[in-house]
Structure 1
Amino acid sequence: MKPVDEKELGEAIAGADGPLRIVGGGTRGVVCAGDVLSTAGMTGIMLYDPGALTLVARAGTPLVEIEAVLAAEGQRLPFETMDHRGLLGSGGVSTIGGVVAANISGPRRVQAGACRDSLIGVRFVDGRGEVLKSGGRVMKNVTGYDLVKLLAGSYGTLGVLSEVSFKVLPDVETAACIVLRGLGDGQAVAAMVRALGSPYEVSGAAHEGGRTLLRIEGFADSVAYRADRLRELLGEFGEVEVLDDPVQVAAMWRDVRDVAPFQGREGDVWRISVKPSDAPNMVAGLVAEAVVYDWGGGLVWALMEEGTDLRARMGEVRGHATLVRGNGFARFHPEPSGLARISAGIRAQFDPRGILNVGVMG
């Protein structure tokens, strides 16, 4: 089924006699049982007001189309959306509804927040086939359930998105990257935390393969000034290199965003959210094939031997491990019993028949 508007979407869900597998562009490898219901037919930017920094689009609109329209006005989505295709070996074209459904947020999350933090309104169809909406085309507070935040990251289990509204930001004039080499994981996290805690507006903090990377963006004079200050601030960690070629910097951060070091390599891929100070010791216990730190150490990507139960190796560390590529384990970290009951109750309220992406969230 491939509805072209909200009315057809509602009819398709209301008339379903069994589970539905909700798909957007098919780039992220989320699978479950059921008849395929695609949002790819619901496309188009419904409203774009550069002056008000607001954009509204149908859920099936390709992300590249939205990015092109914004770039023509010197604007961008605040978060960086990961391209999963290289990591997963998938095809398709990422859609804005899929981005919201998975709450995809890249390296800029440390500065600009997650996808859900830029989302100001949603329209969706619940498991009954009824159209619901929350938020609006301008920023406003929402009473009761904050459906805008609730839908982001729900992976289609509460409803099928039909339209999403965002606040956008002006694009950056230029960028530079601070590079430290040869730091151990603990030192690297300490350097990243220090940089992120400074007043110098770091928009990316990552560590992989012996390189610690810190990104700064903005007007050229400001970037140059902040690069100098960070060089001084981080001097005790060793030699500090500043890369100021915007093309080179952009390529480096695309590799971080898309976890390029794991692409084309065998093994399972896990994504772990953890307290940065806990990350180095946790990583030591994983015995991973390779690791990439992002978000200043708050996000760890781990490449593991196929079939390894990474969660069992996390020990007492409080974190959330998601299986992004691989089989044999639940995709999402099991919830504590109390939280699981709350989650099940919310799903039952929005999808009482239990037909939307059954089993995806546990």
Structure 2
Amino acid sequence: MTPIENEADLAGMIAGAREPLAIRGGGTRGIDPAGNLLAISGLTGVDLYEPGALTLVAAAGTPVADLDRLLATENQRLAFEPMDHRRLLGTTGEPTIGGVVAGNISGPRRIQAGACRDFLLGVRYVDGTGTVIKNGGRVMKNVTGYDLVKLMAGSWGTLGVLTQVSLKVLPRAQTQATLEVSGTGLTGAIRAMSAALGSPYEVSGAAYDPSEDTVFIRIEGFADSVAYRLGRLNALLNSHGTVTTTEDAQTSATQWNRIRDVEPFAGTPGDVWRLSVKPSDAPGICDRLDADGLLLDWGGGLIWARVPSGTDLRGRAGGFGGHATLVRSDAETRATLGMFQPEPAPLAAISAGLRARFDPRGIFNPGLMGRT
């Protein structure tokens, strides 16, 4: 299908649809819901950029790389550092800002800055009847009724098709550094990350790679501040293991891109799952997973697990206060296990009610989030 290039054509196509639609942005996620392909990668361009107001408005199909380049000219950035799935999933295409918002894709800096939805100021989208709806604005404010901005973030195209997003951006840090603590073990890693995150030293990344038995702690900011905090964290964490530091900003950035994009699992066999958990529960959950590979982020609150193809990881994990998402698998496994954690009945009823309100004909990405 030729990508749609304007909102009016998109609205007309949705209004006239008689069969389910599979919504696609840049095509980097490897997700193929049932239905006729509806590609929005043709909706591109920056509609407004006000560096002084830290505000960016862009069409949903705009590549994230284009926005990164534009923001760099004003020494600014997307603070939630969205993951690039292409190496992990072996996909092509270009990540789009609409796809990032639809999945609420947020990287290691989430523990300090917040998630994608926390920087979303406004949205334009087309609902299941073909109606164009705008919600939010260019500044943070309180609203009554549905918070449509927050609802659209993480809805994976099941409530509406995004056409435009408004985002708050932040200044780029002058420099960054990474402190590494090795020899901790999994339980010790959680303790070390908790100590760093509980300190006053403004940690912007806390991850653990069991394959290297190494904790990674990132700090960012002005050079003098980073140097001071690096020294203080070194003193704080030297009782947890062997401490080394990476003070070169580019080397540190490369390390965190590797963590953000789950590069240790790229090109490896098996399914990849993403578990959101309470950090203190992570050691016990990891033991039950019996995974072939693990990578922890967000201070232990995010577990990436690689297991043999077809493994029911939710069954292995048992009951826990969180959720498990199937990120990489074949189509058969995704059809059997579902991409998203099944919701408790009361929450599932609320979700179904929202989908019925936003997409009354049930044509958007059917089956992706609890609806067949």
Pairwise same-fold verdict (TM > 0.5): yes
Map 1:91-110; keep pairs closer than 5 Å: 91-110=92-111
- Residue matched to 1:290: 293
Q: Which residue of 1 aligns with 2:15?
A: 14
SS in 2 for 1:138: coil
Q: Counterpart in 2 of 1:351?
A: 359
Report if the CA contact (8 A) 1:103-1:115 is conserved: yes
AA aligned to 1:118 is F
Task: Write the mapping of 1:41-190 to structure 2, written as runs, cut at 5 A.
Answer: 41-190=42-191
For the Cα contact (< 8 Å) 1:43–1:61, is it kept in 2?
yes
Task: Give runs of aligned pairs for residues 213-228 of structure 1, distance below 5 A.
Answer: 213-228=216-231
| Deviation string, structure 1 residues 255-304 (Cα, Å, up to 9, x no partner) | 00010110110000000000000001110011100100000000000000
Matched to 2:234, the amino acid is: R
Counterpart Cα distance in 2 of 1:317 and 1:132: 37
Q: Which amino acid aligns with 2:217?
A: L
Judge conservation of contact 2:183–2:242 (CA < 8 Å) in 1. Answer: no
Once the two structures are superposed, residues 79-98 of structure 1 have per-residue CA deviations (whole angstroms, 9 ceiling, x without a partner) of 11111010101000011100
- Check whether the contact 1:134–1:142 (CA below 8 A) recurs between aligned residues: no
| C-alpha displacement of 1:138 | 2.1
**Runs of at least 4 residues of structure 1 off by over 6 A?**
none
My pick for the range that moved more, 92-101 or 130-139, is: 130-139
| 2:26 match | 25
Q: What CA distance in whole angstroms lies between the structure 2 residues aligned with 1:185 and 1:45?
A: 44
Q: Which moved more, 1:323-332 or 1:144-153?
A: 323-332
Structure 2 runs not aligned, ≥5 long: none
Cross-structure match for 2:248: 245
Q: Which residue of 2 aligns with 1:361?
A: 369
Match for residue 320 of structure 1?
A: 323
Q: Secondary structure at the match of 1:318?
A: coil
Q: Which runs of 5+ in 1 are unaligned?
A: none
Cα shift at 1:141: 1.8
> How does the TM-score come out when normalised to structure 1?
0.99
Could you tell me the percent identity over the aligned residues? Answer: 60
Which amino acid is 1:86 matched to? R
Q: What does residue 37 of structure 2 align with?
A: 36
State the shift of 1:317 in Å. 2.0
1:319 Cα deviation after fit? 1.8
- Aligned partners of 2:351 and 2:133: how far apart in 1? 19
CA contact (8 A) 1:136 1:165 kept: yes
